[in-house]
């Protein structure tokens, strides 16, 4: 074991997303989002749960900021709800929506916490979905306008921004597997939307940069370190294709203006994306930092179907969280080192990392979630290892500040370092893992196993 000290300015925080915590789904002029529609449709979300109230952060943000302060957090990653700002996705701005985020930002700053907003964490205005959503090129300009509107309103106080949260999930999961809103299953649309998102991503970055107030603009990418299932050349190639698709499909276009080789028949994939002349030139708009959301890893074997990316994932031997995700701390180290190597040591933020465990308050009110603290100790240790070995890691954001609406799994999964009692007025209780995190931040150092692979 070795020990690493984090720099004094290291940005320790927690992350949430608008639809998962805010509630107030139709208040103060907010428009309907695709997640409102999805959750209000029968059979889409477990137990019929919705984000109508969620953690009610819209009304309780001051209480939540006070909790962050109690834990010694230095940053808060939250997302802005597009339909609060543009109820129809475009056209008329809803000032009350902008005012809400202004109040939240002011409250954070007054408590010494850096606001770190994401512009898009999946709650697309339903009105834009009705026009084709991310599969329609019209969205590129609407998104850039929305981005510019947010930075014009908040840029005097917010200096560090994320454009997207997990583009891989809101294209391939939403349009291919149908597991997320709008719940479509169409591989052609999935591919096309991935290209349009890449174009919108770059356009939004340009619009934000034109405003001149941002110090750093990045995006939070969902990543899962790709491990080959065996040493065979076929499995190693499969792991590379998985990496290209899962981890790099939205990063490489932005950084280098090109698509990584993910598909066996890449030419056909590009054709199905309906790439138009001039598009490739517009893709490149290098980010100032790379945000990594990482929970687990992917063990990849050649699937032998000779179709698409042709990868079969194999369950790993590591312990499991209550959401059945494999706990494999070295995955975060591997991922950071790979991005560091492939992109010339860019600044990196871990924008999400965490675990779902069910522990609730006991009779004495205490939440003894030792498994979560152990998870964080393992993963944050490996983040420290990457730092010690030369990666430029600037911050770490635990997912999540508190238990919240876990998408299609509703309230069945608890990712918070703070308990939220959805049955009793959204009462908050800091879990043992929250105090563990507070102590870690205060100490600023952690031990890690430098031999994990």
The residues annotated as belonging to the active site are 166, 352
Q: x/- binding map, residues 394-413, to ligand BGC, per CB under 6 A?
A: -----x------x-------
Give the count of alpha carbons within 13 A of 146, CB side only: 28
C-alpha 396, offset from chain centre: 12
Q: x/- binding map, residues 277-296, to ligand BGC, per CB under 6 A?
A: ----------------x---
In the complex, minimum distance from the CB of residue 264 to ligand BGC, in angstroms, rounded to a whole number: 27
2-5/445-448 β-pairing: antiparallel
Angle between helix 187-211 and 139-154 (nearest 10): 30
In the complex, minimum distance from the CB of residue 325 to ligand BGC, in angstroms, rounded to a whole number: 8
Interface residue with ligand BGC among 248, 352, 359, 403 (CB under 6 A) is 352
- Output 78 or 143, the one with its CB closest to ligand BGC: 78
Question: Stretches 164-172, 211-219, 259-267, 430-438: which one binds ligand BGC (CB under 6 A)?
Answer: 164-172
CA separation for the pair 304, 229 (Å, rounded)? 14
Q: Which of 434, 439, 441 is nearest to 395 (CA)?
A: 441
Examine residue 377 and tell whether it contacts ligand BGC (CB under 6 A). no
Examine residue 357 and tell whether it contacts ligand BGC (CB under 6 A). no
Examine residue 342 and tell whether it contacts ligand BGC (CB under 6 A). no
- Output 191 or 408, the one with its CB closest to ligand BGC: 408
Examine residue 359 and tell whether it contacts ligand BGC (CB under 6 A). no
Cα dist from 381 to 93, 307, 388, whole Å: 44, 39, 10
In the complex, minimum distance from the CB of residue 1 to ligand BGC, in angstroms, rounded to a whole number: 29
- Other beta carbons within 10 angstroms of residue 373's beta carbon come to 20
In the complex, minimum distance from the CB of residue 403 to ligand BGC, in angstroms, rounded to a whole number: 11
Question: Stretches 161-169, 197-205, 332-340, 443-451: which one binds ligand BGC (CB under 6 A)?
Answer: 161-169
Could you tell me the end-to-end alpha-carbon distance of the chain, in angstroms, rounded to an integer? Answer: 14
Q: Site size for ligand BGC, by CB under 6 A?
A: 11
Residue 94: partners with Cβ closer than 8 Å, 6 or more residues away: 28, 29, 30, 31, 84, 85, 86, 87
SS3 24: coil
Question: Per the structure block, which two tokens stand in for 383?
Answer: 């983040």
Backbone angles phi, psi at 64, to 5 degrees: -70, -40
Q: Which of 200, 187, 186 is nearest to 82 (CA)?
A: 200
Q: x/- binding map, residues 169-188, to ligand BGC, per CB under 6 A?
A: x-------------------
Question: Stretches 86-94, 142-150, 163-171, 228-236: which one binds ligand BGC (CB under 6 A)?
Answer: 163-171
CA separation for the pair 93, 86 (Å, rounded)? 5
Binders of ligand BGC among residues 62 to 81 (CB under 6 A) are none
Examine residue 321 and tell whether it contacts ligand BGC (CB under 6 A). no
In the complex, minimum distance from the CB of residue 58 to ligand BGC, in angstroms, rounded to a whole number: 17
Answer whether 339's CB lies under 8 Å from 345's CB: no
Answer whether 377's CB lies under 8 Å from 1's CB: no
Question: Stretches 162-170, 237-245, 335-343, 370-378: which one binds ligand BGC (CB under 6 A)?
Answer: 162-170
Q: How many residues does the chain have?
A: 453
C-alpha 236, offset from chain centre: 27
Burial environment of residue 235 by CB neighbours within 10 A (0 to 12, 13 to 18, 19 or more): buried
In the complex, minimum distance from the CB of residue 420 to ligand BGC, in angstroms, rounded to a whole number: 13
Interface residue with ligand BGC among 18, 81, 165, 174 (CB under 6 A) is 165
Binders of ligand BGC among residues 221 to 260 (CB under 6 A) are 222
SS3 122: coil
Examine residue 49 and tell whether it contacts ligand BGC (CB under 6 A). no
- Output 208 or 220, the one with its CB closest to ligand BGC: 220
CA separation for the pair 356, 379 (Å, rounded)? 14
Interface residue with ligand BGC among 56, 166, 240, 279 (CB under 6 A) is 166
Q: x/- binding map, residues 183-222, to ligand BGC, per CB under 6 A?
A: ---------------------------------------x
Binders of ligand BGC among residues 17 to 36 (CB under 6 A) are 17, 20
Residue 254: partners with Cβ closer than 8 Å, 6 or more residues away: 198, 201, 202, 205, 219, 283, 284, 285, 286, 287
- Output 323 or 435, the one with its CB closest to ligand BGC: 323
Residues that bind ligand BGC (CB under 6 A): 17, 20, 165-166, 169, 222, 293, 352, 399, 406, 415
């Amino acid at each position: 074991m070795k020990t690493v000290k984090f720099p004094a300015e290291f940005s320790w925080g927690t992350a949430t997303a608008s639809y998962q915590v805010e509630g107030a789904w139709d208040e103060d002029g907010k428009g309907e989002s695709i997640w409102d529609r999805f959750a209000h449709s029968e059979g889409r979300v477990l137990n019929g749960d919705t984000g109508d109230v969620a953690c009610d952060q819209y009304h309780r943000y001051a209480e939540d900021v006070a909790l962050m302060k109690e834990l010694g957090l230095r940053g808060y990653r939250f997302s802005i709800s597009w339909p609060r700002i543009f109820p129809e996705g475009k056209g008329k701005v809803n000032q009350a929506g902008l005012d809400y985020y202004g109040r939240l930002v002011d409250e954070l700053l007054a408590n010494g916490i850096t606001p770190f907003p994401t512009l898009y964490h999946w709650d697309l205005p339903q009105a834009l979905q009705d026009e084709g959503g991310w599969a329609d090129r019209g969205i590129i300009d609407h998104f850039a306008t929305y981005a510019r509107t947010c930075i014009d309103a908040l840029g005097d106080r917010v200096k560090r921004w994320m454009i997207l949260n997990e583009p891989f999930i809101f294209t391939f999961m939403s349009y291919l597997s149908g597991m997320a809103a709008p719940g479509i299953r169409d591989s052609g649309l999935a591919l096309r939307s991935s290209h349009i998102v890449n174009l919108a991503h770059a356009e939004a970055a340009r619009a934000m940069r034109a405003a001149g107030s941002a110090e750093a603009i990045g995006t939070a990418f969902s990543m899962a370190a790709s491990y080959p299932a065996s040493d065979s050349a076929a499995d190693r190639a499969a792991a590379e294709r998985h990496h290209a698709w899962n981890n790099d499909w939205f990063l490489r276009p932005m950084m280098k203006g090109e698509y990584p080789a993910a598909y066996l028949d890449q030419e056909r994939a590009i054709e199905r994306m309906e790439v138009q002349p001039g598009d490739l030139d517009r893709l490149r708009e290098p980010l100032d930092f790379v945000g990594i959301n990482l929970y687990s890893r992917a063990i990849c074997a050649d699937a032998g179907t000779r179709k698409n990316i042709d990868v079969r994932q194999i369950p790993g031997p590591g312990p499991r969280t209550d959401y059945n995700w494999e706990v494999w701390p070295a995955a975060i180290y591997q991922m950071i080192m790979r991005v560091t190597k492939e992109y010339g040591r860019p600044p990196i933020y871990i924008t999400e990392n965490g675990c779902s465990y069910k522990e609730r308050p006991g009779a004495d009110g205490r939440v003894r979630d030792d498994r979560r603290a152990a998870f964080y100790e393992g993963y944050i240790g490996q983040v420290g290892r990457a730092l010690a070995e030369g990666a430029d890691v600037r911050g770490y954001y635990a997912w999540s500040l508190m238990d919240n609406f876990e998408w299609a799994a509703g309230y069945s999964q608890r990712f918070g370092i703070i308990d939220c009692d959805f049955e009793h007025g959204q009462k908050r209780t800091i879990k043992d893992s929250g105090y563990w995190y507070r102590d870690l931040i205060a100490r600023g150092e952690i031990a890690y196993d430098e031999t994990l692979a």
